[in-house]
Structure 1
Amino acid sequence: MTDWPGFRRCLLHLGERRLLVLAGSADWTQARAQRLLAGDPASTTLWLGDAPADVSHCPMGKYHTALGREYRNLVFNAYSGLHPDALGAAGGALAAGGVLLLLCPPLEHWPTFADPDLRRYVALPEQAEGLTSPFVARLVSLLRTDPHVLLWQQGETFLPPPVPSGPPWRLRADARGCLNGQQRHALARLLHSARTHRPLVLTADRGRGKSSLLGLTAERLLGAGKRVLLTAPSPGAAAQVQARCNRPLPFVAPDALLAQRPRADVLLVDEAAAIPVPMLLTLARRYCCLFASTEHGYEGTGLGFALKFQPALAALYPGFFKVHIDTPARWSPDDPLEPLLFRLLALNADAPTPPATGTLRMAWVERARLLADDVLLQQVFGLLTLAHYQTRPGDLRQLLDAPGVSLALAWRRDVPVAAALLLREGELDAVLAEHIWRGQRRPRGHLLPQSLAFHGGLGEACGLGYQRIMRIVVHPACQQAGIGSQLLGWLKQELSTDFLGTSFGASAELLAFWHGNGFRLVRMGQAADAVSGLPAAMMLWPASDRARALLPLWQRLFSADLASEGRPAPNGLPLPAPLVDDGRDRQRARDFACYHRDLYADRPALRRFVERHPPQRPLTGQQQTLVQAALVQGAEPAQLARELGYAGQKSVVSALRQAVACYF
């Protein structure tokens, strides 16, 4: 490049950022990136993924550590995997004048590259071998056609980019420290909320100055003698808030706030979308909270902040304050990088409002059609985003790349009204199924058969076929009209498998919906989901003769486990009479003793078994005490370790396995 420093000065002058694609071999791309960044201090660069030995870098899977910080340079090494969530999150950490260096294989070969990130979408790593990535093919097409993207391919002469021109971008803070009118308005609302002790939610895309505003708010409140605390998912995520406050601002982790309950007049919560919703609600009950976060799905709990938390907060505090900022603070409104990332990752995907009337038409939609029609892809992804509180950019890659995924749409006058996203699971070979049952293997995916076998004690579950409905959504403008049930009815006629299944947060509304459509409950999770605050429910609809024969048996076995634990059927759902199968209980107890089955899931079977059968070898007094204490409903291994003198919960479980082995 003829004048790289001059080009960077022009970008800073304009307040803009650029994407530079370095396409070639892994060694060539890394060497070119090093040369381009040689004049910058290492502290100004975030390198994600593999790097040369002398370069400090961040593993792709730990991209979240980039949130809340700012960099002049960002290197994204796609040879370590094109992780969509990492790309979306890290792009927001790039400052004005910055360049995102994307290291990748030659563009024509990139869709068939053995991308490590594809392993997240298959059950076994070897299943990713030989896959072609439509997600990458779409990304390459968008990169090639964007006029602001700089492309340097190995073996080709790199033409110097046109020098950008335009009026200078200047940020001048006012007397309050605000950079624009929206920030001034937001700061006034934050201070008013603190004075009136009403919660406030501040939302914006990355780079709008949310964290800085919290810092300015803290300084004003501390100066007025208020007790102010700051929390965030990590101290690093809160660094920007503290940097903008010239007074000591204590940071307290969310779990410490719940445990210690320190006093405060105001609690500032940054990066709130990355904190579980139940935790946020507890904090809102105890403190006057000022929440700040993005609403895009690459930060922790995804859309849970918008779809789950804010309605729950409104129930606690009707009319709570809400402020949204559009104007960028860390780069120019004319910056081309942000809209490019939004297009690549469908971050602004929107579902148009369908007509209120008209005939419904249902059909499968192949990936080739989605790739050929980006408008339809954006509409579909926008619709799916409305269905679930943990949707992230990675779900776009799953839609386009994951084997076994299928998509069904319902249209009304060519506008998508409803969608169902399904994943093929099950039909696992006998050896893998046995390892799953014993707790020796936990391959990715296959949620329904793995959970039914390992947690539900249904050893035969892994051998059957399932179509798991991961998402089913009806546009909000068309809900309560039976469209979701019509789509389910169509799926029942279309699919050839043993079971249609689903797993979801067990709210009364959803349990009633699935039960009303013929699905039957076969498992309830032990713990509540971090975002929804609800345990997971698994429900099945039998689609084959062998499934119709098995489902009543599985329900009766599930009823027996619920009854043994003293747990009622959720939401009053009807369940058949419990069935205790001594042979199954014996198998669960034996394999709990000999392998790695789960204590919480197997406790009903263990309790029934030891009550019915004497040990074959004498138990010591300590073993007798442990068996009696550990099999009590609700007993916690960590608490038992303290009470009975074991080193920890792992020691308790290990000792219990040895005690149960005495029964065989």
Structure 2
Amino acid sequence: MNVAALAADLRAAARRADHRRLLVLAGERDAGVDAAFDAVEGAGIPDDETTIVTAAEGFRFERVDPTHARELLGTTRTAVIYDAHEDFSPNALGRLVGTVDGGGLFVLLVPPLDDWPDRPGSFESSLAVPPHGVDDVGGRFRKRLVETLRDHPGVAIVDLDAGTVERRGETDASAPVRSTPSTPPAGTRRFPAAAYEACLTADQSRALHSLEALGDGSGGTDADRRDTEGEADEERRRAVVVEADRGRGKSSAAGLAAGSLAAAGRDVLVTAPDRRNASDLFARARELLSALDALDGERAGQTAAAAGGDTLRTRSGGRIRFASPAAAADLPEDPDVVLVDEAAALPVRLLSSFLDAPAIAFFTTVHGYEGAGRGFSVRFRGELADSGHDVSEVTLSEPIRFAPADPVESWAFRALLLDARPPVDALVADASPSSVTYRALSPDELAGDEHLLREVFGLLVLAHYRTEPDDLARLLDAPNLRVRVLEHAGHVVSVALLAREGGLDAETRRSMYEGARVRGNMLPDVFTSQLRDEEAGVPVGYRVVRIATHHAARSRGLGSALLSEVRAEFDGEADYLGVGYGATPELLSFWESNGYETVHVSTTRNESSGEYSALMLDPLSETGRALCDRHARWFRDRVGDLLGEHLRDADPDVVRGALSACETPVSLDLSDYEWRVVVGVALGPGQYATAPQAFRRLALAALVGAGGERGDSVAAGTDSVTEIRLTDREERLLVRKVLQTHPADAVADELGYESPRQCLRALGDAYGSLVDRYGAGNEVVEAERERFDG
């Protein structure tokens, strides 16, 4: 066995094809490290082009801890050595593969391959959520990974214990195939030639040409821009969608477009989930503006150094500036163009807000080492199509760092299911609740059927803004997860991923109550640590982590049918079903219609969805009902105060939905004085500020449980209420003005009232309905009514 000679052969083959090669060194860790040194030396790769990713120290190469593997994304290395003995994770594997340049080597240090599936490491330990131990965690993901290593082209395997080369990593000896970027003739382009000359592939050139539409049809000069000022806004609204797998240069294309637009005097607002996501965009824009000598001379130096380059200014008065998604959603200072990088990682609520811009581009990663974003296409494309923008689309398929058909990339896609897709539309297009079959899928069934696994994982990808490679390993190995599906003609059309929670011992519950984090028990954790209910970890529940229905078969009741089957299966086995998610009006309505009740709304926005999170329960036993009832009651009692402070900016329809799904009625115990004030506002000259708490209680009484066939809130001392319903607009008025305490002028603008005075009159009318509804039979109310009616 000569590892150095094998590595030299692999490097030579990789350089000829402008591809990469994967070298697996299987055996004990120390032997693997020594062999990795030999491999890098034999391949002739300099130390300064090599990175080792390991928790150990004492190497001549650059060392990165596995927990910081994300930081290598966007960098380029000739050789990366990944020590997967102890600190291995699928996420890190995918990220590190993506950093190796064409002609380079990815060296993977692993235990003996036959033993690896039975040797859990730190990642597997993280899957052992209470009450499970690490022995309950499966090895299916690692077994599957080993199988892909042993049969995929371009993967060489050395058995260090046996001293043999198991595979040499041969592939078809094909020459590299690279496209040639081109520059459109001067009369057919608006961006400068230097921008096209900076493109590395024909795909980039084509994407850049499409992005010229963001210039509103101008020729890129102030005179041209003035020529378009008379056009109607609708005629100048443009949107471009750029989709690509990671490593195709979409962010560079965005940077070249940004630089071109700023050079022509445009104000370009850039946003991304994290400032680091936009670093490549700003780097390419700065390089282009420097080449054009277009940077503002007085500010060019300080711009490059200050604030991570968050603003670039040009001589023509243009600029490129960065804002976080939340800040960018308000379109600060009315930018001419908005560029949204990594758009698939942002919630639809934020994406929709950008549609108010006259020109916008969305750059999305389809199959990424950090996660997949095809949900962007499913959830947002409809809104974009209806936005009034002239939409154009472009896809980048050719990689930048290596030639097409790289065997290491295809291995990573296969091993991590980065390209997993649900069934094609035609196979499930006629699915309905009557045509589907409910099925419980075991981890062994998923691991043993690649086609089934791809269909399930493909649907789960679409259910979430970002599904990571780690999620695949959880699906196969986490002992607390369950997979339930509906199948139509043998294909998965709807899937639910469930997590078993609760059933915790007294010591675990005590530690959680005192602040310890307990993995994999999201609902008991919130109930115990935040809401101070130490007994919440006793009942056993199943949380719906994700649920998804194929986009070709939506709005047919399949999701509800799946939840109904899940409920029937676990009724008698668990105490409750639960869910936690970024609340939208549509989702709240869906979960309420399926019998779930609101028990909590977070006071901060969810990082993934950008929304306030709602927690809901569907009790299955008396114990579950007791848990649900007490938390619904506590939620009812605190929500009025929260809406006036922490939830003051929550969408009023989200508030309406959350309150509607809370089944604990409000008991109205208004004093005689408070009733007189309320009637005075509704029918006479009374003022709302005289007794604001009374109005708040009445508003909550009207909104809590408003959507179901259940008992209504009742006034103290009465047996029933008159069934008078408020309009949607009136309910929004109660939320915004009374519960969230927004000023009347702002509420009038938002809800379309002609003036604050009309808004307040409408508020009085709404309370007139509530007086009729809750005050019937009350002597004080009737007496006051007679005074004004008479």
Shorter chain as denominator, the TM-score bin is 0.7 to 0.9
Instruction: Report the equivalent of 1:493.
Output: 568
Which of 1 and 2 has higher RCO (CA within 8 Å, sep 6+)?
1
Instruction: Report the equivalent of 2:118.
Output: 112
Instruction: Report the equivalent of 1:570.
Output: 657
Q: Distance in 1 between matches of 2:358 and 2:131?
A: 46
Instruction: Report the equivalent of 2:628.
Output: 551
Unaligned runs of 5+ in 1: 581-632, 636-664
Alpha-carbon RMSD:
3.3
**TM-aligned CA distance change 1:298 to 1:452, over 3 Å:** farther
| SS of alignment partner, residue 552 of structure 2 | helix
The answer to which of 160-169 and 57-66 deviates more is 160-169
From the CA coordinates, give the structure whose radius of gyration is larger: 2
| SS of alignment partner, residue 347 of structure 1 | coil
Instruction: Report the equivalent of 2:486.
Output: 410
Q: Distance in 1 between matches of 2:369 and 2:381?
A: 18
User: Aligned letter for 1:23?
Assistant: A
The answer to which of 257-266 and 530-539 deviates more is 257-266
Task: Name the count of aligned residue pairs.
Answer: 582
**Is 1:146 aligned to residue 152 of structure 2?**
yes
Q: Distance in 2 between matches of 1:236 and 1:565?
A: 34
Deviation at 1:163, TM superposition (A): 7.8
CA contact (8 A) 2:21 2:169 kept: no
The answer to which of 38-47 and 400-409 deviates more is 38-47
Deviation at 1:454, TM superposition (A): 2.2
User: Aligned letter for 2:289?
Assistant: R
CA contact (8 A) 2:244 2:250 kept: yes
Deviation at 1:297, TM superposition (A): 5.5
Match of 2:556 among 474, 481, 486: 481
User: Aligned letter for 1:95?
Assistant: D
Instruction: Report the equivalent of 2:289.
Output: 247
**TM-aligned CA distance change 1:200 to 1:467, over 3 Å:** same
**TM-aligned CA distance change 1:41 to 1:264, over 3 Å:** farther
| SS of alignment partner, residue 85 of structure 1 | helix
Unaligned runs of 5+ in 2: 184-195, 218-236, 296-302, 304-308, 311-321, 645-654, 669-738, 742-790
CA contact (8 A) 2:55 2:87 kept: no
**TM-aligned CA distance change 1:172 to 1:356, over 3 Å:** closer
The answer to which of 159-168 and 389-398 deviates more is 159-168
Instruction: Report the equivalent of 2:688.
Output: none
Instruction: Report the equivalent of 1:657.
Output: none
**Is 1:187 aligned to residue 187 of structure 2?**
no
**Is 1:167 aligned to residue 188 of structure 2?**
no
- Deviation string 1:79-110 (CA, Å, 9 cap, x unpaired) is 24332222223322222112211111110111
| SS of alignment partner, residue 320 of structure 1 | strand
CA contact (8 A) 1:410 1:416 kept: yes
Instruction: Report the equivalent of 2:652.
Output: none
Q: Distance in 2 between matches of 1:566 and 1:183?
A: 48
Match of 2:422 among 335, 351, 355: 351
Match of 2:449 among 373, 378, 398: 373
The answer to which of 209-218 and 406-415 deviates more is 209-218
Q: Distance in 1 between matches of 2:530 and 2:378?
A: 29
Deviation at 1:173, TM superposition (A): 4.6
**TM-aligned CA distance change 1:485 to 1:236, over 3 Å:** closer
**TM-aligned CA distance change 1:222 to 1:474, over 3 Å:** closer
CA contact (8 A) 1:308 1:532 kept: no
Deviation at 1:205, TM superposition (A): 0.7
- Deviation string 1:281-313 (CA, Å, 9 cap, x unpaired) is 666656854443413364379556555565555
CA contact (8 A) 2:375 2:462 kept: no
CA contact (8 A) 2:244 2:364 kept: yes
**Is 1:398 aligned to residue 486 of structure 2?**
no
**TM-aligned CA distance change 1:42 to 1:192, over 3 Å:** farther
- Deviation string 1:381-432 (CA, Å, 9 cap, x unpaired) is 1122222223222111110011111111211221112111111110111122
Instruction: Report the equivalent of 1:212.
Output: 252
Q: Distance in 2 between matches of 1:304 and 1:289?
A: 19
The answer to which of 441-450 and 561-570 deviates more is 561-570
Instruction: Report the equivalent of 1:29.
Output: 32
**TM-aligned CA distance change 1:69 to 1:291, over 3 Å:** farther
CA contact (8 A) 1:203 1:294 kept: yes
Q: Distance in 1 between matches of 2:382 and 2:52?
A: 38
Deviation at 1:137, TM superposition (A): 0.7
**Is 1:453 aligned to residue 458 of structure 2?**
no
Match of 2:611 among 534, 539, 562: 534
Match of 1:72 among 78, 82, 98: 78
CA contact (8 A) 2:70 2:92 kept: yes
The answer to which of 394-403 and 115-124 deviates more is 115-124
**Is 1:87 aligned to residue 102 of structure 2?**
no
CA contact (8 A) 1:10 1:164 kept: no
| SS of alignment partner, residue 20 of structure 1 | strand
| SS of alignment partner, residue 565 of structure 1 | helix
| SS of alignment partner, residue 416 of structure 1 | strand
**Is 1:203 aligned to residue 243 of structure 2?**
yes
| SS of alignment partner, residue 40 of structure 1 | coil
| SS of alignment partner, residue 143 of structure 1 | helix
TM-score (norm 2): 0.67
Q: Distance in 1 between matches of 2:641 and 2:171?
A: 73
**TM-aligned CA distance change 1:573 to 1:4, over 3 Å:** closer
Q: Distance in 1 between matches of 2:351 and 2:524?
A: 33
Match of 1:505 among 577, 582, 596: 582
CA contact (8 A) 1:26 1:104 kept: yes
User: Aligned letter for 2:52?
Assistant: W
Q: Distance in 1 between matches of 2:55 and 2:118?
A: 20
| SS of alignment partner, residue 164 of structure 2 | coil
CA contact (8 A) 1:69 1:240 kept: no
**TM-aligned CA distance change 1:540 to 1:33, over 3 Å:** same
Instruction: Report the equivalent of 2:5.
Output: 2
CA contact (8 A) 1:113 1:132 kept: no
CA contact (8 A) 2:7 2:40 kept: no
Instruction: Report the equivalent of 1:649.
Output: none
CA contact (8 A) 2:120 2:139 kept: no
Match of 2:413 among 339, 342, 346: 342
Deviation at 1:433, TM superposition (A): 1.1
**TM-aligned CA distance change 1:460 to 1:332, over 3 Å:** same
Deviation at 1:566, TM superposition (A): 4.4
Q: Distance in 2 between matches of 1:127 and 1:343?
A: 29
Deviation at 1:58, TM superposition (A): 2.1
User: Aligned letter for 1:213?
Assistant: A
TM-score (norm 1): 0.79
Q: Distance in 2 between matches of 1:549 and 1:230?
A: 49
The answer to which of 37-46 and 81-90 deviates more is 37-46
> Kindly, what percent of the aligned residue pairs are identical?
32
Q: Distance in 2 between matches of 1:192 and 1:570?
A: 40
The answer to which of 507-516 and 371-380 deviates more is 507-516
The answer to which of 465-474 and 558-567 deviates more is 558-567
User: Aligned letter for 1:500?
Assistant: L
User: Aligned letter for 1:203?
Assistant: E
User: Aligned letter for 2:123?
Assistant: D
The answer to which of 563-572 and 182-191 deviates more is 563-572
Instruction: Report the equivalent of 2:684.
Output: none
Instruction: Report the equivalent of 1:435.
Output: 511
CA contact (8 A) 1:303 1:391 kept: no
| SS of alignment partner, residue 100 of structure 1 | strand
**TM-aligned CA distance change 1:566 to 1:205, over 3 Å:** closer
Q: Distance in 1 between matches of 2:666 and 2:535?
A: 19
CA contact (8 A) 1:29 1:103 kept: yes
- Deviation string 1:598-634 (CA, Å, 9 cap, x unpaired) is xxxxxxxxxxxxxxxxxxxxxxxxxxxxxxxxxxx99
